A = this chain, B = another copy of it.
Amino acid sequence: MSGHRELTVELGERSYPIYIGEGLLDEAGKLFERHGISKKSPLMIITDENIAGRHLAHLESVLQTAGFAVTSAIIPAGETSKSLRELERLTGIALESGLDRKSAIVALGGGVVGDLAGFVAASYMRGIKFVQVPTTILAHDSSVGGKVAVNHPLAKNIIGAFHQPELVLYDLLTLQTLPEREVKAGLSEVVKHGLIWDAEFVTWCDENAGKLLALDADALGYALYKGCSVKAAVVSKDERENDLRAILNLGHTIGHALEAVAGYNELLHGEAIAIGMIGSAKLGVRLGAPEEVYHVTKRVLSRVGLPVRLPEHLDTDEIMRAMMHDKKFQEGTMVFIVPTAIGTVEINKSVSAALVREIVEELKQEAV
């Protein structure tokens, strides 16, 4: 465990540690034991079909060698697995494998596996222990804060719980197999955490974009550490999502609308919010923030390989309508997270819809 990084998500008696480093899977036995995962009750690893072939046998064998009783369940990759149907199937496997109140569920995967496995853990016997082993960059975001959920045919993430893990174990080596496009999309949320909270870290991302894209272990470890730290700081102050936590939605109002309007897989979540964050930066400048807010935001996102121009064929009316469904809209004004400087945002509750529309149009003309 030389050279690994560690931080604590402070949530009173629900506080938990995040370990970040190369080769940490090898330490899983020791760390699970340290954080109270029982060897007497079977534990269940949940992962998806893409990850299973690459990292599952490794984690299973480390845990078995350490004396844990391990069962595994594999879900189809992708967002559609975040369903009550998969929840029922996984609960059946848990029952057949004899999981009891002292058992733990281990999520080995990205945000899809984490959200689904987390809700299985939250609801199985009304709540058992949960461990996150994130394998995507985006999952630095989903593994902090305890939000777990499945989707309903009518709405994403609508059926869920707050369920904090016992620990998060981030092995940078697992990220080596992540497709390049997923790497970039994940970096979008990393940059977001800088933009809402930490100007110095934005500068660092700007300067180290190349290393991040090359998955340089030290740079990546630092970036994930910083990203997790910002998210942890925000959720520690606002565990149940009252007010402050809203700043985590920088770029998401436009981003969600783009995801809704674009065809399946045209825009990944991280790509959509990159465009959204540039929109928010433009909005910030219109509302009085210094010009550099826009220039720096765009430059850093572009350097980590993210799109900065809104695809022209997406219809502006449709985008506007999708945003209005986002509920933060009332009578001609919208709630928006708006940067006031690099590293600082405010929650603006009366942004005019007309201005937002202008900005959506401008985003289609953005120079790349």
**Which of B95, B147, B152, B153 lies in contact with A155, CB distance below 8 A?**
B95
From residue A335, how far is it (CB to closest CB) to chain B in Å? 14
Distance A161 CA – B160 CA, assembled complex (angstroms): 10
A117-125, A247-255, A307-315, A355-363: which one contacts chain B? A117-125
**Which of B87, B124, B127, B147 lies in contact with A84, CB distance below 8 A?**
B87
From residue A84, how far is it (CB to closest CB) to chain B in Å? 5
Q: Which residues of B contact A54 (CB under 8 A)?
A: none
| Number of copies of this protein chain within its complex | 2
> Does A100 lie at the interface of the complex (its beta carbon under 8 Å from any beta carbon of B)?
yes
The answer on a CB contact under 8 Å between A125 and B158 is: yes
Q: Which residues 102-135 in A have Cβ within 8 Å of B in the complex?
A: 122-127
Q: A122-B161, A124-B158, A158-B95 are in contact. Are A152 and B88 (CB under 8 A)?
A: yes
Q: Which residues of B contact A122 (CB under 8 A)?
A: 161
Q: Which residues of B contact A123 (CB under 8 A)?
A: 123, 159-161
Distance A162 CA – B124 CA, assembled complex (angstroms): 11
> Does A331 lie at the interface of the complex (its beta carbon under 8 Å from any beta carbon of B)?
no
From residue A91, how far is it (CB to closest CB) to chain B in Å? 5
The answer on a CB contact under 8 Å between B91 and A158 is: yes
The answer on a CB contact under 8 Å between A96 and B127 is: no
The answer on a CB contact under 8 Å between B126 and A160 is: yes
> Does A92 lie at the interface of the complex (its beta carbon under 8 Å from any beta carbon of B)?
yes
Q: Which residues of B contact A91 (CB under 8 A)?
A: 152, 158-159
> Does A34 lie at the interface of the complex (its beta carbon under 8 Å from any beta carbon of B)?
no
> Does A327 lie at the interface of the complex (its beta carbon under 8 Å from any beta carbon of B)?
yes
The answer on a CB contact under 8 Å between B92 and A152 is: yes
> Does A154 lie at the interface of the complex (its beta carbon under 8 Å from any beta carbon of B)?
yes
Q: Which residues of B contact A149 (CB under 8 A)?
A: 126
Distance A124 CA – B152 CA, assembled complex (angstroms): 10
Q: Which residues of B contact A152 (CB under 8 A)?
A: 88, 91-92, 95
Distance A158 CA – B123 CA, assembled complex (angstroms): 8
Distance A122 CA – B148 CA, assembled complex (angstroms): 13
The answer on a CB contact under 8 Å between A84 and B88 is: yes
Q: What does the 1/0 interface line of A157-187 toward B look like (CB < 8 Å)? A: 0111110000000000000000000000000
The answer on a CB contact under 8 Å between A95 and B162 is: no
Q: What does the 1/0 interface line of A133-149 toward B look like (CB < 8 Å)? A: 00000000000000101
**Which of B126, B160, B162, B327 lies in contact with A162, CB distance below 8 A?**
B126
Q: A124-B159, A126-B160 are in contact. Are A154 and B327 (CB under 8 A)?
A: no
Top 7 nearest A-B pairs (CB, nearest first) are: A126-B160, A123-B159, A84-B84, A95-B154, A91-B152, A84-B88, A126-B161
A-B contact pairs, 19 of them (CB 8 A): A84-B88, A88-B152, A88-B153, A91-B152, A91-B159, A92-B152, A92-B153, A95-B158, A96-B154, A100-B327, A123-B123, A123-B159, A123-B161, A124-B159, A125-B158, A125-B160, A126-B149, A126-B161, A126-B162
Other A-B pairs beyond A88-B152, A92-B153, A126-B149, 4, CB < 8 Å: A84-B84, A91-B158, A126-B147, A127-B161
